[in-house]
Amino acid sequence: MKQELVDKIKANPDYQELVSKRSSFSIKLTIAMLVVYFTFILTIAFNPAALGARISPDSVTTIGIPIGIAIILFAFILTGIYTKRANGEFDDLNNKIKQSIKED
Residue 5 lies in a domain: no
pLDDT band at 79 (very low <50, low <70, confident <90, very high): very high
Quick one: pLDDT at residue 69?
97
Q: What average pLDDT does the chain have?
A: 93
Domain ranges, residue 66 = 13-103
| pLDDT tens figures, 30-50 | 999 999 999 999 999 999 999
Residue 46 lies in a domain: yes
Residue 4 lies in a domain: no
Quick one: pLDDT at residue 1?
62
Query: What b/e string do you get for 4-28 counting C-beta neighbours within 10 Å, with b at 16 or more?
Result: eeeeebeebebbeebeeebeebeee
| pLDDT tens figures, 48-77 | 999 999 999 999 999 999 999 999 999 999
| Domain count within the chain | 1
pTM value > 0.85: no
Per-residue three-class SS string for the chain? CCHHHHHHHHHCHHHHHHHHHHHHHHHHHHHHHHHHHHHHHHHHHHCHHHHHCECCCCCCCECHHHHHHHHHHHHHHHHHHHHHHHHHHHHHHHHHHHHHHHHC
Residue 54 lies in a domain: yes
